[in-house]
Amino acid sequence: MEVLENEKIPSIRLLNRSDVQALLKAFMNGSISVLKPVIGQNGDFTYPEAEKIMGTSTRVTREILEALAGEEILFYHVSVVSIVCPYCGDNRFVIQLVCPHCGSTKLKIGTTIEHLECGHVDFEENIRNMICPKCRKRMRALGIDYRKPGVMYKCVSCKEFTGEPRKKYACLREKHVFYEDESISRELYSYTLNPKKKDFIGKFIIDLNPVVEALKSRGLMVRTPAKIRGKSGVEHTFTLFASGGNGGDVIIVDVLVNDKPIDDSALSLIFKALDVNASRRVMVFIPGLTDKARTLFDYYRVLPNMSIVECKNINDVGSMVLNVLNNFVEVRPRTI
């Protein structure tokens, strides 16, 4: 499917994308219930399930999900809150613990004991026979003459103890250095389908499984959606692509859905199809073309390998495409 550049309805622009169609089908049929972010080794967060289904880059995938959420087709929920560098936004760090008293990074950690009478604090391992190293008095009863503050840090430089050292971050991308209270947070979202939008989405979801199975039964390799690089070097997305094992019988199908007859701005679909070497090109327009567009497109209807199909009902798309292709694809045993 393709996007009309001058389409005024954002949700229609989104739902006319073949990659978006593939993702929403996965939500609709239950293949995906919740789409969760994954933080990769490079520190970036991705949605690998969505990328695999749509065949899109990390950046484009995130943009599509944000756009679908903006149209309330998907709901978004905070999944992870990540600390990021306030200077470059990276979330890969080397973290150092810093003494809050003198700024030294030379800290030791251990379980501590505090002598309540003289206030001396020391690591438990340094206290022999429960005799205070400072005043030399024996500590006999927990909670009466001594307590255990728990795990603490001791600065080797200034000898002070602290239960909460400062955290100093050095980002790995640009080596920026900052403290935790100087950092900023980034919310990462998971996505679910808005159940109230199912009927609306259903008006754009096209079942091409009969077409796919028919082409496969004829020994063709089928992809839907498919990204194909044209003769111009530009990569195009088509609703369906099929080809024979020897590279012959290349078929491309593109479908455009609108809420009203489509005008001549859809001519870009024809140019896109002509940019790709194919034995057969099928362009489907729902609910049809305007009179002006039909007059213009009649020129392309007579091309030997181009079929322009107007379809009023989205449920008829599969049968109409099969009708066109059945006259073209020779029936033969499926190859293995």
Q: What confidence tens digit (pLDDT) does each residue in 141-182 have?
A: 999 999 999 999 999 999 999 999 999 999 888 889 999 888
pLDDT band at 248 (very low <50, low <70, confident <90, very high): low
* Token pair 């000898």 in the structure block, residue: 159
pLDDT at 154: 96
Mean pLDDT of the chain: 86
CATH topology classification for 17-91+181-203: Arc Repressor Mutant, subunit A (1.10.10)
Equal fold, 17-91+181-203 vs 100-164: no
3-state secondary structure of 235: strand
Q: Give pLDDT tens digits for 106-134.
A: 999 999 999 999 999 999 999 999 999 99
- 61-74 average pLDDT score: 92
Query: Is pLDDT above 50 for 5?
Result: no
Looking at the domain covering 100-164, what would its CATH class be?
alpha beta
- The full set of domain ranges for the chain reads 17-91+181-203, 100-164, 205-336
Structurally, at CATH architecture level, domain 205-336 sits in 3-Layer(aba) Sandwich (3.40)
pLDDT at 81: 87
pLDDT band at 76 (very low <50, low <70, confident <90, very high): very high
Query: Is pLDDT above 70 for 318?
Result: yes
pLDDT at 332: 41
H-only helix segments in 79-208: 198-202
Q: What is the distance between the terminal CA atoms of the chain, rounded to a whole angstrom?
A: 30
Q: Give pLDDT tens digits for 250-298.
A: 899 998 888 788 888 788 888 888 899 888 999 999 888 999 888 888 8
pLDDT band at 140 (very low <50, low <70, confident <90, very high): very high
* Beta strands 280-286 and 251-257, pairing class: parallel
